[in-house]
């Protein structure tokens, strides 16, 4: 080997060593400052979190393959089941180089690309690389080496947890169309398995759009004068949706699914409810009298209104105002009745 080659090899080795030492020093400095540089491995799950600032934030967008998304409002309330003293997003079982998490002036965006292209990305006008510290992370190296050994094992469940403090939600509450505030949370699952979404203790007027082929949605202690929409891409219906809603006040609820299993407890609709399906079971419990709704139900299935059998189409007009209540299905069984008193202030 030529002397110049030997010198080049020595320099390259030294640079690698310096890079490793720098990464380890940076990791220790980050830990001493309470910052998370690398993902933690807790009970076999990879977890990393990042604080989020809702100032001037108008939209949160989550795009991933499949998994769970939990949105916890008022998370800093003492005794909360899911407590956090800061607003943050927590990513569980997402490999660090296989997603992008960005914050623009008014958008917080999580996007799972799902392949190695996200580690080294080339575009016509540029190049993006997240940093050597991710490649030199020993946990990352171990994952890469073991990925073929574990190819037959079931993938660990991916989960995204969004924690929003009471103060953050109060600041983000929009008072008018032109005001700055969190106006939309959109969750898109690209995989055939769909997603499971939970909205808990969210008291803010924002739209929730859930786009997936298969959806499980649980809503509790939530209030919004805006929309909750569940469907697939475009205007297509989801293949299957299982929805549970309790102790909540919703402005507009629109669910489109071929097979819909819907059940509510003390759900108050302020303006409009529209459920569209082919098959399934729909059980709606209103905290108030059903006679206050303008109702129209069309289905070949059984229709029960306060335990009384009704023929299809069932139509009841309470007056010219809201709320409007529409169910369109080919053969779903529908039951509507007055339920428990509301525990969320309308």
Tell me what pLDDT residue 23 has: 58
Exposure pattern of 245-255 as b/e (b: 16+ CB <10 Å)? bbbbbbbbbbb
pTM: 0.78
> Which is more confident, 271 or 345?
271
Which phi and psi (to 5°) does residue 258 adopt?
-60, -45
Cβ pair 303, 297 in contact under 8 A: yes
pLDDT tens digits, 79-119: 888 899 999 999 999 887 788 999 887 899 999 975 544 44
pLDDT band with cut points at 50, 70 and 90 for residue 54: confident
**What is d(CA 224, CA 270) in angstroms, rounded to the nearest whole number?**
9
> Which is more confident, 287 or 93?
93
Lowest mean pLDDT among 13-17, 87-91, 188-192, 286-290: 13-17
Specify the pairing of strand 333-338 against strand 279-286: parallel
pLDDT tens digits, 110-161: 999 755 444 454 444 444 445 554 555 555 555 545 554 454 344 688 999 9
Q: How does DSSP assign 177-191, residue by residue? A: TTS-S--EEEEEE-S
Domain extent listing, the chain: 39-129+156-212, 233-346
Instruction: Name the β-bridge partners of 250.
Output: 224, 269
């Amino acid at each position: 080997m030529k002397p110049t080659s030997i010198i080049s090899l020595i320099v390259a080795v030294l640079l690698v060593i310096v890079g490793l030492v720098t990464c380890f020093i940076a990791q220790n400095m980050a830990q001493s400052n309470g910052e998370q540089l690398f993902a933690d491995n807790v009970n076999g799950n990879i977890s990393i979190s990042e604080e989020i600032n809702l100032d001037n934030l108008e939209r949160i967008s989550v795009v991933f393959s499949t998994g769970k998304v939990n949105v916890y409002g008022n998370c800093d309330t003492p005794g909360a089941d899911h407590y956090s003293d800061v607003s943050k997003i927590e990513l569980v079982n997402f490999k660090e180089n296989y997603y992008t998490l960005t914050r623009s002036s008014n958008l917080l965006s999580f996007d799972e690309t799902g392949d190695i292209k996200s580690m080294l990305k080339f575009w016509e006008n540029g190049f993006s690389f997240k940093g050597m510290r991710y490649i030199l992370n020993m946990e990352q190296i171990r994952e890469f080496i073991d990925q073929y050994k574990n190819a037959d094992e079931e993938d660990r469940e991916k989960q995204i947890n969004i924690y929003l403090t009471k103060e953050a939600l109060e600041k983000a509450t929009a008072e008018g169309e032109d005001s700055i505030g969190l106006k939309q949370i959109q969750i898109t699952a690209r995989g055939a398995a769909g997603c499971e979404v939970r909205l808990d203790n969210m008291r803010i007027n924002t739209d929730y759009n859930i786009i997936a082929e298969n959806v499980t949605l649980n809503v509790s202690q939530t209030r919004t004068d805006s929309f909750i929409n569940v469907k697939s891409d475009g205007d297509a219906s989801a293949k299957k949706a299982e929805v549970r809603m309790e102790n909540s006040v919703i402005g507009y609820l629109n669910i489109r699914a071929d097979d819909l299993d819907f059940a509510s407890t003390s759900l108050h609709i302020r303006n409009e409810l529209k459920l569209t399906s082919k098959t399934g079971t729909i059980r709606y419990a209103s905290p108030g009298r059903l006679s206050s709704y303008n109702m129209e139900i069309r289905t070949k299935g059984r229709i029960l209104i306060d335990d009384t059998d009704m023929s299809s189409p069932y139509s009841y007009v309470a007056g010219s105002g809201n709320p409007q209540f529409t169910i369109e299905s080919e053969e779903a069984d529908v039951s509507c009745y007055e339920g428990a008193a509301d525990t969320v202030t309308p």
